[in-house]
Amino acid sequence: MSVIPDSRPRVPASDQTLRILTFLARQRSPAPARAIATALDLPRSTVYHLLATLQQHAFVVHLPEEQRWGLGIAAFELAGGYARQEPLARLGRPILADLVDRARESAHLAVMHGRDVLYIVEERAPRRPALITDVGVRLPAHLTATGRAMLATLPREQVRALYPDATAFADRTGRGPRRPGELREVLREVRVRGWATEDGEVTLGLRSMGVVVRDHTGWPAAAIAVTWPADAEPPDSALATSAARELERRIGRVDPR
């Protein structure tokens, strides 16, 4: 007889504490305890007790004048530790190396940084041209395959805030969207297709395809792209998609299907 595993948390207080921190991290500003209790369906007394414990360890701060709670310095230190340890780059590097072996084209991993993408891993294929997408380089997100893949999964309101008018659109080669309406159409095509493309918008003579990497909340944590010469046969998009799904699995995303 098979045994169905118990999916309930073994340490409820720990689960509730992490849910509170996650909730606060997603808010635009500090939140009142009653809003936390309502959103997480927790007793208000439990929320106050856990917030007090978190406050003792500096993971949250209480704003008495506003009667609200926000993230504390210890939470900020966790984010700094994450950045220093570079787990996304460490997890992504072997996946990109395998992708390059299979596609026989160069590949890179990027994250969003405002209206730019920041490249954190690059794997160059043998006998392929050098790319501008070296580690640490930033490029306009609306021109890159990685940027478009991530922008297509963001809330439309956030995309409008990032690109309110034509002044927000940088140019490199004279190609690519230059107005909010043109970008909306590009991102609509990405959502329909499931992956993004760019053709000479970053570097003339080179093309790219990009696939978003979502975290456990469904948020675009990064994107993987493959770049090849415009006169060469494009690689199979399934290779980049498979690499992105593998990185999602490694950073903790559960397959929603």
pLDDT of res. 245: 97
pLDDT of res. 101: 96
Residues in the chain: 257
Q: Of 40, 64, 79, at which residue does a domain stop?
A: 79
pLDDT of res. 9: 55
Q: Which ranges of the chain have pLDDT less than 70?
A: 1-11, 79-86, 255-257
pLDDT of res. 6: 47
53 belongs to a structural domain: yes
Q: What is the CA radius of gyration of the chain?
A: 21
CB 140 within 8 A of CB 115: yes
Q: Of 49, 79, 109, at which residue does a domain stop?
A: 79
Distance of CA 238 to the CA centre of its chain: 20
**Gap between the Cα atoms of 59 and 52, Å rounded:** 10
Residues 6+ apart with CB under 8 A from 192: none
pLDDT of res. 81: 63
pLDDT of res. 116: 92
Residue-wise pLDDT for 178-232, tens only, equals 999 999 999 999 999 999 999 999 999 999 999 999 988 888 999 999 999 999 9
**CATH code of the domain covering residue 150:** 3.30.450.40
- Tell me the one-letter amino acid at 248: E
2 belongs to a structural domain: no
pLDDT of res. 3: 42
25 belongs to a structural domain: yes
Domain that holds residue 240: 86-250
pLDDT of res. 110: 94
